[in-house]
Structure 1
């Protein structure tokens, strides 16, 4: 079908001006043509002022249409956009020369299109044409091979066309062969303030630039104010607050300080002034400030008189006073690999942009909703999860710990600082979540496929498999044995027993400050008494599992291990909880005890604790971790097959609160 604008066969059209998103304004260019602008006139004057480092370059970059889109719905099977591209700015070519082979010049830019979530790829006007054409129907959804819907008779398509990142353009109409082309209502915006890395150098496709990918993930419109060569320039935000309504803001500036001589005093002044201005304009909007990304210093050395190494320190100092600002470590947002850089040293390619957008999204989602919203979302996501996720499900149900991340494909929870429980069917997502966490010393991994990623990502070395044992109902009746010579009793211990518990507990170093006192105050530490004498005790770990089982040496071999655990099971059942514990696979006696009590034992190859390897003589355990059944002194096996721990603690026993 002839899609030339003005053709008699054209059934529907709309002015491009009415379909624009991400443009602050437009200017008339005559004969119906309009130019989209992503900066206000006041901002343009500031960018071209004597306060700018490179006013000529900034004016060139500000004319480009990075982040600007046309968005509409239509029943057309084909649409055409009337478009005239500007010449490539000299500043653009200066960067692309590092990307292209010597003697060749490729555009690395164009017009990109999404239809119903499908990416159609890059288009450019050919020859003297002043339009680009997109076929909207999905060939895979055609009724039969080679058969397409008649124009105007097919489904309604949602279309978003991304305009060039590296040059400007003029627009006129969007025409289609259907019955309507209808604009889409504006959303709130993701506002990105940055340099060439934010503008889109060198993703090769406007849709593949990380701000575009991030905005799509967040379901926001994008206002991209990335400018090649830009630094922190106070005064460039004037008038912006009246033009945009950002849901969140990302600041990506600072990399360009490394190319020129610069004084720390002046740079820190500009960083402070810019962030202060930003904070005053949007005091209630979350602002994410990135420190500079990794670059290959050997491939392109920094200027010897640059203060670029101090920029992360300036950012940390001047973000801290503003509650709505979060400083992000750029070194963790992008892997330190030249293969992710289009020029080999600094500008992310399409793969690097995808990684950067994904990790920014992960970090933002860690703040999505309040504590209870994240907990509820995590519980919903874990419905129908594998049985090895029981510890995580139970911690959520009991209100224990803080949910760090809860999105489709991955859930992470922290019991105490430095200790994380994670499950994820999406390995890439879980990897990114781990990268965005701070100071993780121990990971309880509930997904076998993630173990290697956890070790490599966090530099942890010690992997300790563990069996999860879950109560299936009331414990089985105790086997008949010899009647004890003195009366027995199991009851909660109070604060008066604190000193004796700490003295007789095999691993008091695993108790964090106040943990023992909390257990005693809540009545969660049960003591076994024979003839009025304390013979042992059992408690609970911060994650809710049974543990801290300790039978004093002089009373072992009399069935006290089973009696104490049975009492703890009854105690948790009475509180409406589902008892569970964890057992090292080497501790066969304890595993037999769990089965005898009616707990279902899961294979140890489904979950594990991962920690750094302890140095000689060092105890490695998370704060708040008890000893677990495998660590406690337990008791010798009683005659008649009674329980419990006879094994010495395995080499990995210091890694967590296990049986």
Structure 2
């Protein structure tokens, strides 16, 4: 007997989505609160919020196979994959192209934890999810973690959706991940802040600055106050959660070259450091981005800004160690 695990039928079997939308027999995830979308006024942010970064099926089952079908929308050609994990290890990676997809994966005998991580690129509509046997949804992990950032948190170039740096941290520490990595769209938008405030969390990380620098979306006058406001609103919503603010990793071409409003990447870091160091909050922590991926690892930047797959794995290792200390 096949068991239907579509998100609209068994939302308790899915992790990482902020909301779901059903249309014409298919379901897609949202990574911003759907009832706030009309307050975003940022079409590219809304587009990105429909991408299923960090969204995954997570169940215990003795089923012999899992079958999944749907549609993948890709705005430009990119590598898109679904990762099926068994007991935390990659069992099968399925390469996808734009359009409809259907696959059936055999599972090892016995009862196992089975996860299906949806692509971190493109927009995934789920039409069918079936297990050949019953499944028990995994309870939320003891530590609920929300991370917010840019394309460097979305990790398009990671080997697969279970190998983005947030996924690697979550897998290593057994944390329940909600990934709000929005490629090109980490501009401290109120809709993002309200989403972070609403999603239950035991630890929060904020990787800030690279999009503001790259898009010249804030001046030096505006940036630090906006960072302070984001931190204050997140703290008010999560009074006992450690908050880690991560400064940008290195980007050699942006370090000292002013953008259109006179900001440099080094100046962005200095502004973030000033805000964090000037905030009276024992649960607020600073993580130095260049200590996570620095000049000695600049060869791991595929375009001078974004890490390649090896770079994201290194970030995952170092951020696992850095973030784990905050929950010790």
User: Is the structural similarity TM-score above 0.5?
Assistant: yes
SS of aligned partner of 2:122: coil
Q: Deviations over 1:256-288 (max 9, x none)?
A: 233244421111221121122112111210011
CA apart distance, 1:241? 3.5
Gaps of 5+ in 2: none
CA apart distance, 1:324? 1.5
SS of aligned partner of 1:256: helix
- 1:40 matches 2:33: yes
CA pair 128-200 structure 1, distance change in 2 beyond 3 A: closer
SS of aligned partner of 1:245: coil
Tell me the residue number matched to 2:299: 339
Asked if 2 retains the 8 angstrom alpha-carbon contact of 1:16 and 1:173, the reply is: yes
SS of aligned partner of 1:16: coil
Tell me the residue number matched to 1:205: 160
Tell me the residue number matched to 1:81: 68
CA apart distance, 1:117? 2.3
CA pair 210-264 structure 1, distance change in 2 beyond 3 A: same
Q: Distance in 2 between matches of 1:70 and 1:38?
A: 15
Q: Distance in 2 between matches of 1:334 and 1:307?
A: 21
CA apart distance, 1:213? 0.7
Tell me the residue number matched to 1:310: 267
CA pair 360-197 structure 1, distance change in 2 beyond 3 A: same
Aligned length: 317
Q: Distance in 2 between matches of 1:163 and 1:70?
A: 8
TM-score, length of structure 1 as denominator length: 0.45
Tell me the residue number matched to 1:549: none
Q: Deviations over 1:545-564 (max 9, x none)?
A: xxxxxxxxxxxxxxxxxxxx
CA pair 252-121 structure 1, distance change in 2 beyond 3 A: farther
Q: 2:138 is matched with which residue: 184, 193, 198?
A: 184
Larger radius of gyration: 1
CA apart distance, 1:164? 1.2
Asked if 2 retains the 8 angstrom alpha-carbon contact of 1:125 and 1:131, the reply is: no
Asked if 2 retains the 8 angstrom alpha-carbon contact of 1:198 and 1:226, the reply is: yes
CA apart distance, 1:294? 0.7
CA pair 56-123 structure 1, distance change in 2 beyond 3 A: same
Structure 1 residues 235-250: aligned runs within 5 Å: 235-236=190-191, 237-238=193-194, 240-242=196-198, 244-250=199-205
CA apart distance, 1:129? 4.9
- 1:252 matches 2:245: no
SS of aligned partner of 1:159: strand
TM-score, length of structure 2 as denominator length: 0.88
Tell me the residue number matched to 1:72: 59
Q: Distance in 1 between matches of 2:99 and 2:50?
A: 22
Q: Distance in 1 between matches of 2:285 and 2:125?
A: 37
Asked if 1 retains the 8 angstrom alpha-carbon contact of 2:88 and 2:171, the reply is: no
Moved more, 324-333 or 313-322: 313-322
- 1:348 matches 2:307: yes
Structure 1 residues 353-502: aligned runs within 5 Å: 353-369=312-328
CA pair 109-324 structure 1, distance change in 2 beyond 3 A: same
**Structure number with higher relative contact order (C-alpha < 8 Å, ≥ 6 residues apart):** 2
Q: 1:290 is matched with which residue: 222, 246, 249?
A: 246
Gaps of 5+ in 1: 1-10, 50-54, 94-104, 138-153, 370-659
CA apart distance, 1:180? 1.8
Tell me the residue number matched to 1:13: 3
CA pair 127-203 structure 1, distance change in 2 beyond 3 A: closer
Q: Distance in 1 between matches of 2:112 and 2:255?
A: 46
Asked if 1 retains the 8 angstrom alpha-carbon contact of 2:242 and 2:326, the reply is: no
Q: 1:29 is matched with which residue: 15, 23, 36?
A: 23
Asked if 2 retains the 8 angstrom alpha-carbon contact of 1:260 and 1:306, the reply is: no
Tell me the residue number matched to 1:269: 225
Q: Distance in 2 between matches of 1:313 and 1:126?
A: 42
Q: Distance in 2 between matches of 1:271 and 1:128?
A: 39
Q: Distance in 1 between matches of 2:161 and 2:89?
A: 15
Tell me the residue number matched to 2:90: 119
Q: 1:323 is matched with which residue: 282, 297, 303?
A: 282
Structure 1 residues 104-253: aligned runs within 5 Å: 105=77, 107-125=78-96, 129-137=100-108, 154-177=109-132, 179-187=133-141, 188-236=143-191, 237-238=193-194, 240-242=196-198, 244-253=199-208
Q: 1:61 is matched with which residue: 48, 58, 80?
A: 48
Asked if 2 retains the 8 angstrom alpha-carbon contact of 1:299 and 1:344, the reply is: no
CA apart distance, 1:12? 2.3
Higher strand share: 2
Q: Deviations over 1:290-347 (max 9, x none)?
A: 0110113189966354313321122122223132210111011114223322x23111
Tell me the residue number matched to 1:596: none
SS of aligned partner of 1:221: strand
CA apart distance, 1:208? 0.9
